Amino acid sequence: MKTLIIYASLRGGKIEKFAHIIGKEIGAEIVPYYKAKTEKVIEADILGFGFNVYKGGINSDFLNFIKNLPYQKKKVFIFWLPKSFFTFFLKRRVKKMKNLLNKKGFNEIKELECKDCGFFNKKDMNEKDIEDAKYFAKKLIYGG
C-alpha cells in the first residue's frame, strides 16, 4: 500500500518530526503541503495529514490545499499539535478539519493528538512522544 504524509509545520518543526517518525514506521513518502502534487495524492492508497492548531485555527494555506484536492475515497489519518490552552476551541477546529476531509471523500479517519510537546511545552519531543507516534503508526498498519 502506498502511503503519503502531507504536513503543515510551524517554526520549531515538531509536526514535521512527527511526520518523519510515523512515515519511517509505515514506509510513507513525506512532503510539506506546499510541495505536494495532486498526482501523488491520487496515487496514494492512504493519506496522512499533520498540522498545528494555532491561535484558534489551522494554517489557511494548508486548508486551501485540502479544499482543492479532488474528491476521492481514501483512508486517512491526521496528527496534530495543540497550540493553545483552550481545548474546546482546538477540538472544534479539528472536527472542522475532519468534516472537510469527509466532504472530500476521505474516510476511516484515525487521529493522534501530539499533546505532550505542544506549543506551551517548549521542550522538544521526548521518548514518550516518539513512542506514541510509533504506536500510532503501528496501529495504522495492523489495525486497532
Dump the DSSP string for 10-60. -TT-HHHHHHHHHHHHHT-EEEEGGG--HHHHHH-SEEEEEEEEETTEE-H
**pLDDT for the residue numbered 133:** 84
Distance CA 53, CA 140 (A): 22
Residue 142 vs residue 120, higher pLDDT: 142
Average pLDDT on 69-85 reads: 82
Answer yes or no: are the C-beta atoms of 97 and 59 closer than 8 Å.
Answer: no
Grid cell at residue 48: 496522512
Name which of 47, 117, 55, 111 is nearest 81 in CA terms. 117
Distance CA 22, CA 26 (A): 6
pLDDT grade for 120, boundaries at 50, 70 and 90: very low
Taking 60 as the threshold, does the pLDDT of residue 123 lie above it? no
User: Model confidence over 15-56: pLDDT tens digits?
Assistant: 898 899 999 999 999 999 999 999 999 999 999 999 887 766
**pLDDT for the residue numbered 138:** 81
The model carries a pTM of 0.86
Taking 70 as the threshold, does the pLDDT of residue 84 lie above it? no
- Of 3.30.70.260, 3.40.1390.20, 3.40.50.360, 3.90.480.10, the CATH number of 3-142 is 3.40.50.360
**pLDDT for the residue numbered 56:** 66
Taking 60 as the threshold, does the pLDDT of residue 121 lie above it? no
Taking 90 as the threshold, does the pLDDT of residue 64 lie above it? yes
